[in-house]
Structure 1
Amino acid sequence: MRINKLLSNYGICSRTDANRLIVENRIIVNGKLCIPGQWVEIEDDILIDNENVSARKKIYIALNKPVGITCTAAKTVENNIIDFMEYPQYIFPVGRLDKASEGLILMTNDGDWSNNILNSDNEHEKEYIVTVNKPFDDLFIEGMSKGVQICGVNTRPCKVNRVSSDTFSIILTQGLNKQIRRMSKTFGFTVVRLERIRIIDIKIDGIEIGAWRHLTDKEVVELSNR
């Protein structure tokens, strides 16, 4: 596989950071400077800053993201999730939860595990509690449930239930950009609070805003097999 994919799979750095290290002449493969896009084998002798490369222990975290934090590993972005967590090892967010929203986001250094969760074909459930700017009727619930045309596509049918006059729960099996906000806007409503409370079988229960916990081995395996 290519060197940047190997380093990402090993949980050492992102593919983008791997490319940067190559340009800075900090990676050596079998005694020679690595070149961009180079193909490598697991058996190759790979050094970063003259230290042998080996797979890192996989990390799996459930974070309750506060409003105002951006789900990106780019350090150039203000209030990015990596700086917020200050985790001592390389990790990245699994998917996204927009800056104005709060709630559950998974963090990991395992690229394959992340891709499995994000694969739209797997139709993994994500559950949210949403408050809009005014009361809604049952037609709104019905319309949201059947799917809405946004971003040039029809959203998948989803489960929507009333919580109160202006708040509903919604379970999605896809992750279009700002999907719930755009769906609600189609019916004339503006989202004023959005919290993700579940990703597949992982719930936010017991995790305070801004806090996080490691997933158990059982949870990691169960998510891997879904």
Structure 2
Amino acid sequence: MSLVRISHYLALCGVASRRQASRLIDSGRVTINQQLATHTERVDSLQNLDICVDGVAVLAPQDKQYWLYHKPIGIDCRLLISDPSSLIHLLPQTPRLYPAGRLDKDSRGLLLLTNDGELTQALMHPDFYHTKTYVVQVDKPLTPAFLTQMAQGVTYQGAQTRPCCIRSLSGFDEGDTFEIVLTQGLNRQIRRMCQALGYKVIDLLRTKLMDVELGCLPENTMRPVSAAELLSLTQLSELTSLS
């Protein structure tokens, strides 16, 4: 069937993930034939359609692209053309890429850039416990109690974080750096977990997204996702769609 919901179609076109596309529709930013789109509308993905986001015509679905980017500190993952620090100014005009997940402006490390809305939806969905690995430096020495509390989950601002894997990278005596593996993506989660336990994050680097590693990719550069990496990610997408 070529008939799909408008949010699904926008994801196929690489505009955003389905969840992000739903927000665009809620905000009245999507039109079909000059009429505001609604969530219940279905469109024919095989036809040329007059669909616009913020008045800009949406191009038909393009070949899927997958890139890894080493985001430096100071780049904002929100794609706001009015913000000179936005990632949008570093991305090619075509195909339209966007990050599958975010790193806050003060953090650095691995980002997956793609126009595959289905894969982005799978990676960002909170119910599927996809792992993300970080190396974190804090402002004072680690203690066993800190590591235990972080691993068990931390309560802050009404949120309770999931249990996670954590290990010191430099011992307890002088060590201030640890590796943490999350299955959650709350806003500024690691920083707020540390703050709730009396620590301040000095440096935060994402090194791994599931089985895909940052490796030696230089800061502020991109590389294509390898065939093996893409296979692992697309298998994830297929499993998620069956769940």
CA contact under 8 A between 1:116 and 1:224: conserved in structure 2? no
- Counterpart for residue 82 of structure 1: 88
Q: TM-score, with normalisation over the residues of structure 2? A: 0.80
Q: Return 5+ residue gaps in structure 1 as ranges.
A: 28-32
Cα drift, residue 52 of structure 1: 10
Amino acid aligned to 1:154: Q
Amino acid aligned to 2:222: W
Q: Once superposed, what is the RMSD of the aligned Cα atoms? A: 2.4
Cα drift, residue 219 of structure 1: 1.8
State the number of aligned residues: 214
Q: TM-score, with normalisation over the residues of structure 1? A: 0.85
Q: 1:132-188: CA deviations, max 9, x gaps?
A: 011121111111111100231211111110112111110000011111101111111
Map 1:183-194 → 2, pairs under 5 A:
183-194=193-204
Matched, 1:221 2:225: no
Cα drift, residue 61 of structure 1: 1.1
Cα drift, residue 223 of structure 1: 1.2
Cα drift, residue 21 of structure 1: 7.1
Q: Return 5+ residue gaps in structure 2 as ranges.
A: 237-243
From 10, 13, 22, the equivalent of 1:10 is 13
Q: Take 1:52 and 1:85, find their aligned partners in 2: how far apart are those partners?
A: 17
Q: Take 2:92 and 2:82, find their aligned partners in 1: how far apart are those partners?
A: 15
- Counterpart for residue 176 of structure 1: 186
Say which is worse superposed, 167-176 or 70-79, in terms of deviation.
70-79
- Counterpart for residue 240 of structure 2: none
Matched, 1:65 2:65: no
Amino acid aligned to 2:152: K
Cα drift, residue 85 of structure 1: 3.4
CA contact under 8 A between 1:72 and 1:92: conserved in structure 2? no
**Kindly, what percent of the aligned residue pairs are identical?**
33
Q: Secondary structure at the match of 1:46?
A: coil
Cα 1:53–1:135 change in 2 (3 A) is: closer
- Counterpart for residue 30 of structure 1: none
Matched, 1:197 2:200: no
